[in-house]
């Protein structure tokens, strides 16, 4: 059956592969991003996130697979297509002699329907630095310039590759407000981040990529499956041993422990696994499966040789 949303896919990726020599950096990845949604691509260092994003942005060629971004193959995207994208690359690129205001005005002129430069400067919290040279800004402030440049063209699709690296906690919260505002205006967003709380706060859906493969995809609250979010009750029992039990009815479990121990259990806590807990478990399971596959391969090589 066809996915009813499939026709509304802003990004459509099927069987994407990227090899660097012998290394398979992206290995058969498929996913869609629907209009207006925020999709997080999560995964450990070297998983293949930036490679995937840069292929979608038209910055990297692919080895195999089909890709469509705003209805166009990025390998053949022209200037009109590029003007519909907003891109915040992983590395901080802006170091020039221009001031924040000059740089934004300069870039705004490339787009047919740019946002108001002063509004963008305010949105990224750089009013006090508008007339400062970018080379004199702190790392976190330069990152805000990157974000400002990414949104100045009023993009339909915004790529954010680790956008808040180097932000202080308050700036991250301000950034989240900005992203929510862009989302409410209908912007489709592809986000990569190592801050799982950020992904949980901002995204509608997420894909987890490890070793170049998509190991999980789904609604942000359902990643890892329903069981992954079952609360865990932890306590220290009468012998001093640390115990834990997953329970869909944690209050009843706690009551049973109290009854059994005849009093307040020591160090009692009820934890609802966060996206970070679920993500770490997924990646750990993937790593141990990949390690045992390697062992099996090595064993077979021995038998065959
Ligand atoms: N230009 C390149 N030439 C060779 N190998 C590369 C190149 N770019 C990336 N790789 C390799 O491809 C794999 C995927 O890299 P990629 O940058 O896509 O990972 P990532 O998921 O974005 O990681 P991070 O979270 O560290 O940014 C890594 O093993 C990396 O070393």
Q: Which atom of ligand 1 is nearest to the CA of 26?
A: 14
d(CA 212, ligand 1 centre) in Å: 9
Q: Which atom of ligand 1 is nearest to the CA of 54?
A: 18
Q: Which atom of ligand 1 is nearest to the CA of 43?
A: 21
- Place 93 in a pLDDT band, splitting at 50, 70 and 90: low
Question: Is pLDDT of 270 > 60?
Answer: yes
Q: Which residues have CB under 6 Å of ligand 1?
A: 20, 23, 25, 43, 45-51, 90
Interface pTM, i.e. ipTM:
0.96
- Burial class of 26 by CB neighbour count within 10 A (0 to 12, 13 to 18, 19+): buried
Complete domains list, the chain, with CATH: 6-219 (3.40.50.300), 226-304 (no CATH)
Q: pTM of the full predicted structure?
A: 0.85
Write the CA distances from 139 to 26, 117, 134, 165, 172, integer angstroms.
30, 21, 10, 9, 14
Closest CA to 243 of 263, 260, 277, 268: 268
Report the mean per-residue pLDDT for the chain: 89
Mutate to test the pocket of ligand 1, among 19, 21, 23 (most ligand atoms within 8 A of CB): 23
- The stretch 271-288 carries a mean pLDDT of 89
- Place 65 in a pLDDT band, splitting at 50, 70 and 90: very high
d(CA 165, ligand 1 centre) in Å: 17
Q: Which atom of ligand 1 is nearest to the CA of 52?
A: 18
């Amino acid at each position: 059956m066809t996915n009813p949303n499939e026709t509304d896919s802003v990004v459509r990726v099927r069987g994407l592969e990227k090899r660097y020599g012998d290394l398979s950096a992206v290995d058969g990845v498929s996913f869609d991003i629907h209009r207006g949604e925020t999709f997080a691509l999560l995964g450990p260092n070297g998983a293949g996130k930036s490679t995937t994003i840069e292929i979608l942005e038209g910055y990297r060629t692919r080895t195999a697979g089909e890709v469509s971004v705003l209805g166009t193959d990025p390998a053949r995207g022209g200037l009109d297509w590029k003007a519909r994208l907003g891109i915040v690359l992983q590395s901080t690129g802006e170091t020039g002699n221009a001031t924040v205001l000059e740089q934004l005005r300069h870039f705004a002129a490339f787009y047919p329907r740019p946002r108001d430069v002063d509004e963008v400067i305010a949105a990224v919290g750089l009013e006090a630095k508008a007339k400062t040279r970018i080379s004199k800004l702190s790392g976190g402030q330069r990152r805000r310039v990157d974000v400002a440049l990414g949104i100045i063209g009023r993009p339909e699709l915004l790529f954010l590759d680790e956008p808040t690296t180097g932000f202080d906690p308050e700036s991250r919260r301000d950034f989240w407000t900005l992203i929510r505002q862009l989302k409410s205006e209908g912007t489709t967003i592809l986000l990569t981040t190592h801050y799982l709380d950020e992904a949980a706060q901002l995204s509608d859906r997420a894909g987890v990529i490890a070793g170049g493969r998509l190991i999980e995809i789904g609604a942000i609250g359902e990643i890892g499956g329903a069981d992954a979010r079952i609360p865990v009750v932890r306590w220290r029992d009468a012998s001093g041993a640390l115990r834990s039990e997953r329970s869909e009815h944690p209050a009843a479990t706690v009551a049973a422990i109290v009854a059994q121990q005849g009093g307040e259990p020591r160090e009692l806590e009820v934890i609802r696994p966060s996206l970070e807990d679920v993500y770490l478990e997924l990646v750990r399971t993937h790593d141990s499966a990949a390690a045992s596959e390697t062992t099996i391969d090595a064993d077979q090589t021995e038998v065959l040789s």
